[in-house]
Structure formats: C-alpha cells, structure tokens
Chain A
Amino acid sequence: GIQVEQSPPDLILQEGANSTLRCNFSDSVNNLQWFHQNPWGQLINLFYIPSGTKQNGRLSATTVATERYSLLYISSSQTTDSGVYFCAASGGGAQKLVFGQGTRLTINP
C-alpha cells in the first residue's frame, strides 16, 4: 500500500518565523490532506489538496502529484501554531487515509 513520510520530525522556531513541512508519498494519490493536531488532540482539517496549490491566511500548501510530494508553508508563525502536523493520503480505489508520522512544531514566544 501507499506509504507516507514526513519531514522534519521536529521543528522549533521563534514566533514570526516561516516554516516548510514536507510530505513524500510512495504512489499516485487521489486524496491528500493536511491536518493540525492541537494540544487537546483534535485533528483540524487544514487542506484537501491532491494536486495544485491552496492558501488559507498564513498557511498554504502545494502538492506536486507527478513528483509525489506535498509541502505545507506556515508564514509569520504564532505560538498557537504549535502542535503536530499530519499529512495523510489515499491512493487507488481506497478511501482509507494513510497517515505520516507527523511533524511536531514548537513556536517559542
């Protein structure tokens, strides 16, 4: 089945910095989503982005399906951006999402 790898595993930044999180996947995908898991454990949908580029405020994402990777950009980081960011993908006819191991982002004031 499809495999999803995220990098880096941990990222520590100062407030105001920009960051780029990467997600590599092993096969062609029909779904790719980015989530933010907040300190209470909730998974917050950030983007549904099997291909192309999307932006939502300070966050944007790009998926290059032909090269099997996706990037999540966070600009002007705030302490509330801290948490774990997950990339998840599905491929073929399956709807099951395969999750990466996550990137733990810590934003220090």
Chain B
Amino acid sequence: EAQVTQNPRYLITVTGKKLTVTCSQNMNHEYMSWYRQDPGLGLRQIYYSMNVEVTDKGDVPEGYKVSRKEKRNFPLILESPSPNQTSLYFCASSLWGGGGYEQYFGPGTRLTVT
C-alpha cells in the first residue's frame, strides 16, 4: 500500500530533550516536506526537500533540523524542544517538487513539550 508513515504518533517530552520524528514514504517520491498545525494559525511548512541531500527552509524553520540521506526518509529533528513546539506535525511527499503534483500526507505526530 502506497503510504507516508510517521513515528511516533504521540509523544510527550520535556524541554531540552532532543527528539526525532521519523517520516518514510514508499512511493519513490522526490519531494518531501514537514508541516505543523496550530490552532488559529493553520498548517505551515517547516522544511522541505526537493530530492536527496537537498533541503530548504519553509515558513517556520526555527528550532528544527532535517536531513535527507535517502529518498524514502525525511526525519524532523528537534535539538532542544521548547513548549512553543507543542503541535501536530505532518510529513508529506509528492512525486516531484516543481509544483502541480498531488501531495500525500502522513497520519500526523502529536507532540507535547512540557
């Protein structure tokens, strides 16, 4: 089944404790990205990757890191999480990054930072 998977689905952590949210897709997509969803602010893009070893900032990249060492994986790294990073996170992928391609979303990761 073609899908985007994320792990963990739920995470409660404490301020400053490094964490990684994994994202994997099995559709051989070139483009992957991360969004966060917050009440009143909607969904906003954090980082994106046009293909392997190519990443770039989205609208709200502060406090996050990403890497794209393999086509299928695009982990989101929070080196020192803070309470304002409490949010619902989505990973997405599409065939290409040039615009005009359907994006497929993972199931979401609900992160709480205390």
Contacts and interface: CB of A to CB of B under 8 A. Distances in A.
The answer to whether A binds B is yes
Interface of A: 30-31, 33, 35, 41-43, 45, 48, 50, 86, 88, 90-97, 99-102
Contacts of A102: 42
A33 B31 CA distance: 17
Query: What bracket does the count of chain B residues touching chain A fall in?
Result: 20 to 34
A41 B45 CA distance: 17
A31 B90 contact: no
Contacts, number: 57
B61 interface: no
A33 B35 CA distance: 15
A35 B105 contact: yes
Given A41-B108, A43-B90, A86-B43, A95 B101 contact: yes
